[in-house]
Structures are given as C-alpha cells and as structure tokens.
Structure 1
Amino acid sequence: MNWYLDVLKKYAVFTGRARRQEFWMFVLFNLLAAIVVVIIDAALGTYPLLYAIYGLGVLLPSLGVTVRRLHDTGRSGWWILIDLVPLVGAIILIVFLATEGEAQQNAHGPNPKLAPAH
C-alpha cells in the first residue's frame, strides 16, 4: 500500500526516476482501488460518477509515475504520447515501462535502486 501512497504524495512530480516496482505496484493498487470504486458506484446507483471523480483524482499521479518510469529507462517523458498510436503504441509503451532502468545515473537523476530506503 505504501507504493500507492508514495506515488500519490508525489502528486504532480514529473522529474526524477521511478523503479519498475514502484510503477507496477502503483498500477496494481490503482486497478484494485478502481474496481472497489466501481462496485461502490454500482451499489449506490451513481455509476459512473464516483469512478469519474476517482479517475480524475489519480490522473496526474498516474502520468507522473509513468513519466518518471520512462526517465528511469533513459527516455523522455514525451514517449508517453506513443500510446496514442492505435494498438502498436500501447504495446511499445508497455515494453518501455517493463524494461529495466539504467544502472548508472542518467540525465534524469541517480539510479533509484541505489537510493536509501525512506
């Protein structure tokens, strides 16, 4: 759960680097939270109101962690726009996000794996 909260604390931070673990754990918890919100929304009969509010609330943190993840692989955050290419763009972006980050310091900062735990 800390992975999810840590990303939310960096609400609109688009600089630096994010480890694969940080990104994918955020994706997992975000998916689980979205499922819970949809169930509550359906039970209250307000679908898609709560889901839309939740989606807007996590939009910037999601973009931020994705950009930081791309930075970890040595790519510009603008590569997130490749997702706009139908089908192929999403596959390429997933490959980029699943690729191991650069071991050395890059233009976006030091290796987050070597950073001390907080």
Structure 2
Amino acid sequence: MTTAPRLVNIGRAVAVVLGLTTFGFLFVHGSWRADNLFLVPDLIICALLVVAAVLPVAAAGPALVFAFGMSAGVFTTATAAYAVRGEVGIATLIGVAVSALMAWLLVAHRPGSRAA
C-alpha cells in the first residue's frame, strides 16, 4: 500500500526545504568544521531528504518516512546538545517538530494504517 500522492508531494516539498535549509545552516553558522560532531550526520540527512524527494511516488513515500525519521533523530540529539549547554536550539527544535510530524503524517495516512 502506498501513501496518498498529494501527501507525498507535500512531503517532497518539505524535505527539499528542510534539506537545503540544513545545508545552508552549516555555512551561515560556521558549522562546516572538522570538530563539528554534527557535520556528517547533517550532511547525511540533507542527502537523504533531497534524494527521497526526487524518487518516484511509490518509492518516495517510504523513503521520505525514513529520511524524516533520521532527521528527527539527528535534530533531537542536536536539540539535547544545546540543552546540555544551557542553550535553546530553536532551529533544531523546529527541525525535530517538522521531521517528526511529516514522518507521522506519511505513515498515518497510508491506507489501512492505524497510526492516526
């Protein structure tokens, strides 16, 4: 069973925006450094989000769920890292919310899903 094509298209748009924004964030905030523990995970989620967004509809649904799930994990860890330092990472907090919401929507709106 597949996710509704309209929701997949919304997921594609969100994935591209989130992936490119995260990539841009690396440059704007000076995060493109070898000592940045999140550089490689950020690059991986950027690639996953953009690649999932360009796949055909049948493959894009599951790929987007995977990419948004991975993004939620990376952003959750980054948000926790900010919290440990006594800071609030608004951008990562938004990333967690968007990623988790999109993953849930893509799963919940599959025909026969009980996630709703």
TM-score (norm 2): 0.40
Between Structure 1 and Structure 2, whose CA radius of gyration is higher?
Answer: 1
Q: Could you say which structure has the higher helix fraction? A: 2
TM-score (norm 1): 0.40
